[in-house]
Chain A
Amino acid sequence: AQSVTQLGSHVSVSEGALVLLRCNYSSSVPPYLFWYVQYPNQGLQLLLKYTTGATLVKGINGFEAEFKKSETSFHLTKPSAHMSDAAEYFCAVSGTGGSYIPTFGRGTSLIVHP
């Protein structure tokens, strides 16, 4: 079965600092990988996704993630945090083991201090 581990349920950064949210997955085949963001009382919004091709994926709002097969990781980064980035972030994996139903990580709450 596929699984996703997000390291750190909470990450705190200062405004303007680098954002790094960690995601590791388990898979024996190349997976499809996603990052979603959820603001309070809202649904999930896709930030970016990796399917095939370039391993560095650029998404919306200045976020990007790099697929590293050797490390089974898909960490999310943003060079400079903004107050509006404060939200819950979810990593998800699908396409492994013949399943196209995505498995989500437990989420990481990003806190941005002024």
Chain B
Amino acid sequence: KAGVTQTPRYLIKTRGQQVTLSCSPISGHRSVSWYQQTPGQGLQFLFEYFSETQRNKGNFPGRFSGRQFSNSRSEMNVSTLELGDSALYLCASSLELAGGRDTQYFGPGTRLTVL
């Protein structure tokens, strides 16, 4: 089975722009979660989607949004980029439950740099 894929792997944007990141989960996985990883804050949960619905949300401003399509692929969008948004954005998929009994499988991440 193919693993979780994320595109693009690297991205450079300037302040004020917006960006869309894409994640394709493992086939059959219905839950997709997004995390932001920075040296200062570590791994922080952004949101989780299940069956095209946002099921859980972390403590991030409304500039961060996401969606999930019927084939479970997910996108996250960040509008009005700030320097502090520079981070590695990780997507993780699981069969049904994010965390819990199910294991989350992570993609390689998208490295976003905001100049």
Question: Which stretch in B13-21, B70-78, B93-101 binds the other chain?
Answer: B93-101
| Interface residue A67 (Cβ < 8 Å from any Cβ of B) | no
| Interface residue B64 (Cβ < 8 Å from any Cβ of A) | no
Within 8 Å CB of A100, what residues of B? 97-100
Rounded to whole Å, the gap between the CB of B12 and the closest CB of chain A is: 15
With known contacts A43-B106, A44-B106, A101-B48, A94–B100 Cβ distance under 8 A: yes
With known contacts A32-B100, A94-B99, A101-B98, A43–B43 Cβ distance under 8 A: no
- Contact assessment for B99 and A46 in the assembled complex, using a CB-CB cutoff below 8 Å: no
| B: number of interface residues (CB 8 Å) | 24
With known contacts A95-B101, A100-B100, A101-B45, A43–B33 Cβ distance under 8 A: no
- Contact assessment for A43 and B99 in the assembled complex, using a CB-CB cutoff below 8 Å: no
| A: number of interface residues (CB 8 Å) | 24
Within 8 Å CB of B103, what residues of A? 34, 46, 49
Q: Which 6 A/B pairs are nearest by Cβ-Cβ distance?
A: A94-B99, A100-B100, A43-B106, A102-B99, A104-B43, A44-B106
The interface of chain B, by Cβ under 8 A from chain A, is: 4, 6, 33, 42-43, 45, 48, 56, 58, 90, 92, 97-101, 103-109, 111
